[in-house]
Structure 1
C-alpha cells in the first residue's frame, strides 16, 4: 500500500461534521455526529480510484488526533473505524 499526502479539511455545523480530502476520483470523507463529548463516527468513503493508498486511515487518524486534543471520546460505528480501533490499542482510552 502506498501513502498519499493529503490536505485534510474539517467542516462542522452544529452537531455534525466531516473530515475530507480531494483524492483521485473525487472526495474521500469521514462523517460524524457529536453527542455531547462523544464523536460518533458513522461513515468513511474513499473513491474507488483512490483506494489502497491509506486515505481513509489518514482521515480516521486526524479525527482521533482532534478528539484526543479536544477531550472527546469516540464511538466508532463505521465498521472500518471499528476495525482500526481494534488494531490500535493505544486508541482504547478514547473509545466508549
Structure 2
C-alpha cells in the first residue's frame, strides 16, 4: 500500500453496507453483506479521479485487515477482490472454505 494511503481511516458505513475510503475529497467504496460467520464482498468502486493511484488496492487491503480483526471469514464475490487475492495469496487464509477452490491451482492432466 502506498504510504500516503496507509494512515487514511476505513469507514464502515453499516447503514449502507459499505466500507469507505476517502482520498482527496472523493470516496472509494466496497459493498458488503454480513453473514453469520463471514463477510461477503460484492462490489468495489473507485471514482475516476482516483483510478490508477492504488486506492482500490488500499481499500481491499484495509477491508481484509478489518475482516481479520473481526475474526470473520471472507466470501469474495467481487471480481476486483478475487483478483487481489490471487495476487496476494497471503490473504487467502480468510476465504471461507466453500470459496477456497477459486484459488487452487488447476490440476494438470
Q: By the TM > 0.5 criterion, same fold?
A: yes
**What corresponds to 1:66 in structure 2?**
66
Contact 2:76 2:95 in 1 (8 A): yes
Matched, 1:29 2:29: yes
4+ residue segments displaced more than 2 Å: 2-8, 21-26
RMSD over aligned Cα atoms: 2.0
Aligned partner (choices 8, 11, 21) of residue 10 of structure 2: 8
Q: Write the deviation string for residues 2-21 of structure 1: whole angstroms up to 9, x where unpaired.
A: 944234322224xx622112
* Larger helix share, 1 or 2: 2
Contact 1:41 1:77 in 2 (8 A): yes
Give ranges in structure 2 of 5+ residues lacking alignment: 97-109
Give ranges in structure 1 of 5+ residues lacking alignment: none
Helix, strand or coil: the match of 2:22? strand
Distance in 2 (alpha carbons) for counterparts of 1:25 and 1:87: 29
Q: TM-score, normalised by structure 1?
A: 0.83
If asked which structure has higher relative contact order (CA below 8 Å, sep 6+), I would say 1
Q: TM-score, normalised by structure 2?
A: 0.74
Distance in 2 (alpha carbons) for counterparts of 1:52 and 1:67: 25
Of 23-32 and 83-92, more deviation after overlay is shown by: 23-32
Contact 2:85 2:92 in 1 (8 A): yes
